[in-house]
Structure 1
């Protein structure tokens, strides 16, 4: 009888798995017409592709305040043809459909119809920098946090601007804030807005009244004022100027409804398929699952005694005393002991299907690997604490994939890094973050940010605790206190500390390359003054077969890496040379070239070309000690083979006797 039941359970299980696989098999992403090497940097108006890429990354947004019944006819007809309702679309797909069909959103939340020249797709209406420069318009030249050039319109008549515009808009009654009507800029992790604003002014050049409509992809309250750059060199975002539409001018101007894009059509098909699969699954799977549930319940009843008798007894392991930090008598030690003394029902990871809430779909192999690292790695085994012990108090920073919080554990302050909340976490994200945790936990050096503990209940909320340094990063520290620092005291101490951290990485077996050494990845303790290297998210062992290109930050990146060569430890040495120039001048690299003389302003991409050619280097002040400058210039040598090793850098810094010019 038992054997029959077992066969029955196995058959029902295989049947349900087969049906689930066939019904839930997703559309292959390769069918999507994505642009290779796409970057949302202000050079394209393909907002639909940006929405889709953020959808793939797990981002989301608030649903648009519209229902299927009050949609414009063009959008409604497009969805009706796909048997879809607007409310069924994800928030990012809602925005993609609105944009791709030729609509923006006014300040009052109403849809604003957009026409394009010759009916080109909405992805083709951006006014490029060469097009703008073909007019007499001038620009304000800016730089984003990664050192890339962005531009905003400055002095420009409406006639000049509209001569290169590729779109026309229905009227928007509200006037805009005092901001630019054309701009480049953006970042790959941003979700654009679709705000249509009205720019009206009397131009002092010709004393004429002009009206230009502009599509702003950044929230108006975040836009910088006219002729100004984003505050703190923040990321800007593309602004697209449009003419004022009128039926009488439409034929002459060749304004037509934009052609729909392929990507949104595929995305709608994919959404329709997913909805239909779920509907079919409901009617097919419910009976199967009911039968399976009955069979499993009966099987469990038969096996319960045997399982109770063979239940494994677990014992807790004591906290290892020889840890990097002194936990004896601390609240963190109590958290560790409390966690290890009680068997947590969430000690193992669960495998769940991805849905809109952001949970995970993972392979058993990947899950086993992550579990093995977090539970079996000798540097992590005795460093897990309960999530209930962590009180998140303040968000310090947030990026495309992770965020860093201040957290309190029984009165002690720590920094907590975790995967970005509110986005769908992928298995690649978890594995990459786990690799970083494993690496940081293995590092033991006074000039490297100290690993403290790890915590999780599920893969999505995996956390790494490190020491908190209230002095902030070196870049902000130099801006705040640079005027009072000298090479004879503070700068010398900071430089030697950073060099020792790099030397430690390069003397590991195998050699560890940081790959993103810069002032923002160096944290500072005010008292006693101390520099600590941080952020090992892109660090790699030199023995790995693939040293990924394109990471790091341009101004700190070695010329050979900019040219496409793989990273070596000498690439880190070049980055350290740039940091020495920051310590000396208390300014970002090439600051004097970008902002020193408006008549000799050089754009970031030109600077990078000059860096690769070896015709420009970070500058040093007249007060820089000769020994420091000589060492820095050797670190900045275009030829990697001519740069000193990290050991030589530490030795030469320690041997400098004259610390004043």
Structure 2
């Protein structure tokens, strides 16, 4: 599979009215330019080919000569649609639900299905070089190539994608808004529960019941175990990239930097992912493999249990230095059952070889007893936990 740059697309929760207005003005302007350009091209094509015809002399059954005129302008070769490519005419794009560096995530309907539409807009023409656009398109193609073949209950279902079409429109309050031709989009199932990150933030004060913690962790572990069985390394495992359906099932999303695992670890290097979740070998620029996902899972497991962010008081540079050189890890609360704490510690071991495979992680989580209604504090220890900070978020 073709390699691409290590850039990735995020969909941060930024939805300001002013940005909406700017986006709408930009899209209207780009759409108008695209329509005018297409009209000019069509006019030029017709003028150049109106006289470009050929006469073919043939003989019918009666021996009479017949003249058949063919016009090259009518010879149109229809582009064959790829297996993952959607029919833009069946897609209705609605309001934005998230925004990121290179685009937005919208609600939508495709062929009667509720979908989320991840739209990547790489800027107006002239603002990026051809090589930059080519790299971004290669990244997009990589994501589609990875995602469209996956089928698992804990992986967000891929519906289809399209690259560089002017047929897309957004249904706004003021009517449809056309999209510029360099826009690409990925269409996936819509999951109403939103990101796991948001769910954890909502529960920062009261925390989650222990059986809920284990169930969320199991969903994520099973999804990652499946990816690894398909030789896929996600490379950006974090709670922001995990979505919840209406039954609170976790599904892995965002394969923007996912790759097929290289047989030679030296072929996979570079800082890819999100600080706070990145394994030491990734932060250090060393060769790595699927075990970098296992490390990230360990951080996510801590986050699910604590409903908090790792290293909230450290800068990015401080986190990088401390994780690599000082073996810094999030502090496990005293109230955390040893069975769960053991999973965290094994997953975020500094040595990738000592980390378990995700298949083993699934088995360890399945073996944890949650029948006692939570067990946030081991029964053999004094009750009443002061592990968590008094003030935790808004």
Matched residue SS, 1:460: coil
| Cα separation, 2, equivalents of 1:463 and 1:295 | 34
Q: Unaligned 5+ residue runs, structure 1?
A: 1-56, 58-144, 147-220, 223-289, 313-344, 349-370, 595-601
Q: Of the two structures, which has the highest relative contact order with CA contacts closer than 8 Å and spacing of 6 or more?
A: 2
Matched residue SS, 2:109: strand
Deviation of 1:436 (Å): 1.2
Aligned to 1:507: 229
Deviation of 1:415 (Å): 0.3
| 1:402 maps onto 2:103 in alignment | yes
Aligned to 1:416: 117
| Cα separation, 1, equivalents of 2:263 and 2:117 | 28
Matched residue SS, 2:114: strand
| Cα separation, 1, equivalents of 2:280 and 2:321 | 9
| 1:652 maps onto 2:360 in alignment | no
The structure that is helix-richer by fraction is 1
The correspondence of residues 531-546 of structure 1 with structure 2, limited to 5 A, is 531-543=250-262, 546=267
Match of 1:436 among 119, 143, 155: 143
Once the two structures are superposed, residues 86-144 of structure 1 have per-residue CA deviations (whole angstroms, 9 ceiling, x without a partner) of: xxxxxxxxxxxxxxxxxxxxxxxxxxxxxxxxxxxxxxxxxxxxxxxxxxxxxxxxxxx
| Cα separation, 1, equivalents of 2:259 and 2:235 | 8
The correspondence of residues 284-433 of structure 1 with structure 2, limited to 5 A, is 297-302=50-55, 305=68, 348=79, 375-377=81-83, 380=84, 384-409=85-110, 412-420=113-121, 422-424=123-125, 426-433=133-140
The correspondence of residues 194-593 of structure 1 with structure 2, limited to 5 A, is 297-302=50-55, 305=68, 348=79, 375-377=81-83, 380=84, 384-409=85-110, 412-420=113-121, 422-424=123-125, 426-455=133-162, 457-458=165-166, 460-483=182-205, 485-508=207-230, 511-525=231-245, 527-543=246-262, 546-591=267-312
Deviation of 1:301 (Å): 4.2
Matched residue SS, 2:276: helix
| 1:605 maps onto 2:328 in alignment | no
| Cα separation, 2, equivalents of 1:656 and 1:421 | 46
Deviation of 1:589 (Å): 0.8
| Cα separation, 2, equivalents of 1:293 and 1:391 | 32
Name whichever of 617-626 and 564-573 sits farther off.
Answer: 617-626
Matched residue SS, 2:330: coil
| Cα separation, 2, equivalents of 1:520 and 1:293 | 51
Q: Unaligned 5+ residue runs, structure 2?
A: 1-6, 13-17, 20-43, 57-66, 167-180, 379-394
Deviation of 1:408 (Å): 3.2
| Cα separation, 2, equivalents of 1:346 and 1:530 | 45
Matched residue SS, 1:556: coil
Deviation of 1:503 (Å): 0.4
| Cα separation, 1, equivalents of 2:46 and 2:190 | 50
Tell me: CA distance 1:623–1:436, structure 2 relative to 1, closer, same or farther (3 Å).
same
Once the two structures are superposed, residues 502-522 of structure 1 have per-residue CA deviations (whole angstroms, 9 ceiling, x without a partner) of: 1011111xx211000011111
Match of 1:640 among 338, 352, 359: 352
Is the 1:401–1:429 Cα contact (8 Å) retained in structure 2? no
- RMSD over equivalenced CA pairs, Å: 3.5
Give the TM-score normalised by structure 1: 0.42
Deviation of 1:540 (Å): 0.8
Matched residue SS, 2:244: strand
Deviation of 1:559 (Å): 0.5
| Cα separation, 2, equivalents of 1:394 and 1:388 | 18
Tell me: CA distance 1:506–1:411, structure 2 relative to 1, closer, same or farther (3 Å).
closer
Is the 1:584–1:620 Cα contact (8 Å) retained in structure 2? no
| Cα separation, 2, equivalents of 1:530 and 1:576 | 16
Deviation of 1:524 (Å): 1.4
Tell me: CA distance 1:295–1:505, structure 2 relative to 1, closer, same or farther (3 Å).
closer
Is the 2:53–2:71 Cα contact (8 Å) retained in structure 1? no
Tell me: CA distance 1:421–1:477, structure 2 relative to 1, closer, same or farther (3 Å).
same
Give the TM-score normalised by structure 2: 0.67
Matched residue SS, 1:549: coil
| Cα separation, 2, equivalents of 1:588 and 1:469 | 23
Deviation of 1:567 (Å): 2.8
Aligned to 1:237: none
